[in-house]
Amino acid sequence: MISTDEFIELLFKNNVSFFCGVPDSLLKSLNISINEKVNSNKHIITSNEGAAVGLGIGYYLATKKIPAVYMQNSGLGNAYNPLISLADIEVASIPILLLIGWRGEVVNNKQVSDEPQHIKQGQITLKTLNIMDIPHIVLDQNSNNLDKKISDILELALTEKRPVAIVFKKNTFNNKAKINLSSPKNLIRREKAIELIVRNSNKNSIFVSTTGMISRELYEIREQLDMSHDTDFLTVGGMGHASQIALGIANELPNHKVFCLDGDGAILMHMGGLAECSRVPNMIHVILNNGAHDSVGGQPTRGFDIDLSKIADGFGYKKFICVKDELSVTDEIRLANKYIGSYFLEIKCMRGNRDNLGRPSLKPSENALNLNKFIESIKYEQ
Ligand SMILES: Cc1ncc(C[n+]2csc(CCOP(=O)(O)OP(=O)(O)O)c2C)c(N)n1
Mean pLDDT of the residues in the chain: 96
**Which letter does DSSP use for residue 238 in this model?**
S
Which of 48-62, 182-196, 351-365 has the highest average model confidence (pLDDT)? 48-62
- At 279, the amino acid letter reads R
- Stated as kind and residue range, the H or E segment containing 80 is helix 76-82
- 32 in Cβ contact with 253 (< 8 Å): no
* 282/269 Cα distance (integer angstroms): 23
Give the distance (Å) from ligand 1 centre to CA of residue 90: 32
Residue 263 CA, ligand 1 centroid: distance in Å:
8
Instruction: List Cβ neighbours of 7 (8 Å cut-off, separation of 6 or more).
Output: 30, 33, 146, 173
**CATH code for the part of the protein at 4-168:** 3.40.50.970
Give percent of the chain above pLDDT 70: 98
CA dist 276 and 253 (Å) reads 16
Per-residue confidence at 183, pLDDT binned at 50, 70, 90? confident
Element (H, E) at 61: helix 49-63
* Ligand 1 binding pocket includes 104 (Cβ within 6 Å): no
Q: Tell me what pLDDT residue 171 has.
A: 95
Terminal alpha carbon distance of the chain? 58
Cβ atoms of 188 and 195 within 8 Å: the answer is no
For the stretch 324-348, pLDDT in tens is 999 999 999 999 999 999 999 999 9
Nearest CA to ligand 1 atom 2: 75
Nearest CA to ligand 1 atom 3: 75
Q: What angle do CA 41, 45, 48 make, to 5 degrees?
A: 140
String of DSSP letters for 335-378: HHHH--S-EEEEEEB-S---TT-----S-HHHHHHHHHHHHHHH
Other beta carbons within 10 Å of 371:
20
Please state the domain extents for the chain. Answer: 4-168, 190-381
pTM: predicted TM-score of the whole model, two decimal places: 0.97
Q: How far apart are CA 65 and CA 137, in angstroms?
A: 20
Residue 102, SS3? coil
Distance from C-alpha of 15 to C-alpha of 128, rounded to nearest angstrom: 27
Q: Decide whether any atom of ligand 1 lies within 6 Å of the 213 Cβ.
A: yes
H or E, element range at 98: strand 96-101
Domains 4-168 and 190-381 fall in the same CATH topology: yes
Q: Is the CB of 309 under 6 A from ligand 1?
A: no
Residue type, 241: H
User: Is the CB of 217 inside a 6 Å radius of any atom of ligand 1?
Assistant: no
| pLDDT confidence tier of residue 185, bands split at 50, 70 and 90 | confident
- Structurally, what CATH architecture does the domain formed by 190-381 represent? 3-Layer(aba) Sandwich (3.40)
- For residue 41, the CA-to-ligand 1 centroid distance in Å is 23
Dihedral over Cα of 185, 191, 195, 198: its sign: positive
CA of 72 to the centre of ligand 1 (A): 10
Average of pLDDT values for 255-279?
A: 98
Residue type, 104: G
